[in-house]
């Protein structure tokens, strides 16, 4: 389970951090599993760092992982930076997902929104929260993969 949060406050992000989807990932996880199951949470400086971090986690693979979930938020500013970062992160995660030799499902939960309000709407508490949805999808992927092994 991987996580990214904005740590650099941008002028267009006056309200600061989102009430993060990451808080709802564990909620979904705990609905499906008892407390004996563990999950790991890592933070990286920004969304762009998610793909290389996943690559390192897979290379080191100290513990057997069932799935990796990426969470973060890329909010459009006044420049083309949004398009470059959004594209690089989504393509990077997909490339690593398809090429990882351990066949660990890697799920993309990075919000790419045009404004803070849209990101906030996708981060609200409940089952429509993006973190909750992605964790639920990860659990479904692991179950499906285990059926074909």
The residues carrying an active-site annotation are 81
Output the CA torsion sign for 28, 70, 94, 96: negative
Picking from 90, 116, 100, the residue whose alpha carbon sits closest to that of residue 14 is 116
Distance, CA of 134 to CA of 137 (rounded, Å) = 5
Here the tokens at position 83 are 């398009």
Q: Which residues pair with 69 in a beta bridge?
A: 107
Instruction: Give the C-alpha distances (Å, rounded to integers) separating 61 from 58, 102, 113.
Output: 5, 9, 32
User: How far from each other are the two terminal CA atoms of the chain, in whole angstroms?
Assistant: 22
């Amino acid at each position: 389970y991987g996580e990214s949060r904005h740590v650099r406050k941008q002028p267009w992000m006056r309200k600061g951090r989102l009430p993060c989807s990451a808080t709802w990932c564990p909620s979904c996880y705990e609905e499906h599993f008892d407390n004996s199951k563990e999950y790991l949470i890592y933070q990286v400086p920004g969304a762009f760092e998610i793909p290389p971090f996943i690559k390192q986690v897979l290379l080191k693979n100290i513990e057997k992982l069932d799935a990796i979930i990426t969470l973060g938020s890329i909010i459009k500013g006044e420049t083309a930076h949004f398009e470059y970062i959004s594209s690089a992160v989504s393509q990077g995660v997909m490339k690593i997902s398809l090429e990882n030799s351990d066949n660990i499902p890697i799920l993309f939960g990075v919000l790419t929104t045009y404004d803070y309000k849209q990101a906030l709407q996708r981060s609200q508490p409940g089952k429509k929260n993006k973190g909750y949805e992605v964790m639920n999808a990860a659990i479904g992927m692991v179950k499906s993969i285990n059926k074909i092994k």
